[in-house]
Amino acid sequence: MLTVQQIINGLLLGGVLALVALGFSLVWGILNIINIAHGSFVMIGAFVTYWLFDLFGVDPFLSIPISMMVLFVLGYAIQRGIINWVVRAPALITLLLTFGLDLLLSSLALLWWKADVRSVNPSYGGSRIQFGTLVVPYVQLSTLILALAITALLWLFLARTRLGQAIRATAYDHTGAKVVGISLGSIYAVTFGIGAAIAGAAGSLVAVVRPISPTMGASYTVLAFAICILGGLGNVAGALIGGLIFGLVDVFGAAWFGAGYADAVVFAILLVILLLRPQGILGREYSGGTAEG
């Protein structure tokens, strides 16, 4: 049985992982592109926060909007200038393109920032809230709250705004969306930019709870892929639930089988879920993308 402290630790971890997966799921669900460069976007967001903190003393949580803005511009430009040319190409083409983009971004990061492992250590980094024997680190609690808030804001954006509804309409039927006057190129670029911005926010939160390096991106792409499959493709709530479950199972695996087997336990359970429900926990069977709220 998991203890209450382990459940808390799992939820704190899962909130950040859910945010990592959210942008990946959005792009995959709407553009039908598996963005291998997603982890590099997370890495860049982490380094934006690191350098703002290291050079200018900007609080890491206050740097999140800056990180999101930088990544939105980068993502929008990449989609408009590169990916839009192959957006309807076979999946292998977009996989190779985003894989090459990932190699480029990580190589540039290694060139500029070297392979050193860095961390963001604000003055309140060791603060914690304690309830009897239960300990909740302040930084991890703050990252969970912000991850939930960003997820909720994305859901509201998709459900309540004209642009969000246009994105959802494009996901359900891009031909029909084009017929009613929606500019697919603009929608694709904005969606990719939003996915990159969310990855930037996730990177900022990762930077305050874990060490960062230019080579960190690949592991977060794998995590985002697994959580996206677990929760349901293109589903905001699915990414959140998938991330929380992933965090709980990771803590469970480390507690019962040792830290070295935690990932193996997570992916074993993922395989079982996919055998029982291939579309994920909150996904539904369909052919094509979806952008469910």
Of 223, 215, 228, 224, which is closest to residue 102 (Cα–Cα)?
215
pLDDT beneath 70, residues of the chain: 1-2, 233-234, 259, 261-262, 278-293
Using an 8 Å Cβ cutoff, are 160 and 170 in contact?
A: no
Q: What is the pLDDT of residue 279?
A: 66
Please, is 94 exposed, middle or buried when counting C-beta atoms within 10 Å of its C-beta (0-12, 13-18, 19+)? buried
Using an 8 Å Cβ cutoff, are 44 and 200 in contact?
A: yes
Q: What is the pLDDT of residue 284?
A: 55
Q: What is the pLDDT of residue 282?
A: 64
Using N-to-C axis directions, what is the helix angle for 64-81 and 38-56, rounded to 10°? 140
> Half-sphere exposure of residue 194, counting CA atoms within 13 Å on the CB side?
24
Cα angle 68, 194, 115; round to 5:
50
Using an 8 Å Cβ cutoff, are 171 and 41 in contact?
A: no
Of 83, 76, 117, which is closest to residue 99 (Cα–Cα)?
83
What tens digit of pLDDT does each residue of 90-133 get? Answer: 888 989 999 999 999 999 999 999 989 999 999 888 788 887 77
Residue 59 main-chain phi, psi, to 5 deg? -55, 135
Q: What is the pLDDT of residue 280?
A: 65
pTM of the model: 0.90
